[in-house]
Amino acid sequence: GAGVSQSPSNKVTEKGKDVELRCDPISGHTALYWYRQSLGQGLEFLIYFQGNSAPDKSGLPSDRFSAERTGGSVSTLTIQRTQQEDSAVYLCASSQTGVGNQPQHFGDGTRLSIL
């Protein structure tokens, strides 16, 4: 497929466990974003990667959240010691250049439920 791919599509885990979410951006897209959508809310920016530049981590809600992007392609978002308030849909998006006026294209998200 040519779109943004995310896995797993659903994840249920116990409070306190670590989780890892994966994103495969559209081939050739240099910019990659993570967002999350909590129940009844709009999408909230988490982190941004552009090429080899330092990521913009300004949206990460706590130091339990981290993300990597290896080889300028696949990205993983890791949440350590999960809490119930981490339950949300985590969405990944990519865009062609990350330089103004390029729409971001989203994957279908990972629905994370913390018991």
Partner 1 sequence: DQQVKQNSPSLSVQEGRISILNCDYTNSMFDYFLWYKKYPAEGPTFLISISSIKDKNEDGRFTVFLNKSAKHLSLHIVPSQPGDSAVYFCAASAWGGSEKLVFGKGTKLTVNP
For partner 1, the binding residues (CB under 8 A) are: 4, 6, 31, 33, 35, 40-45, 48, 50, 56, 58-59, 91, 93, 95, 98-109
Distances (CA, A) of 65 to 70, 95, 100: 17, 23, 27
Question: DSSP 3-state assignment of 84?
Answer: helix
Question: C-beta of 82: minimal distance to partner 1 in Å?
Answer: 22
Question: C-beta of 10: minimal distance to partner 1 in Å?
Answer: 10
- Residue 45 or 64: which CB sits closer to partner 1? 45
Contacts of 10 (CB under 8 A, 6+ apart): 110, 111, 113
- Residue 42 or 71: which CB sits closer to partner 1? 42
Neighbours of 20 (CB within 10 A): 14
- Residue 55 or 74: which CB sits closer to partner 1? 55
Question: C-beta of 33: minimal distance to partner 1 in Å?
Answer: 7
Question: C-beta of 81: minimal distance to partner 1 in Å?
Answer: 26
Stated length of the chain: 115
Q: How far apart are CA 33 and CA 104, in angstroms?
A: 8
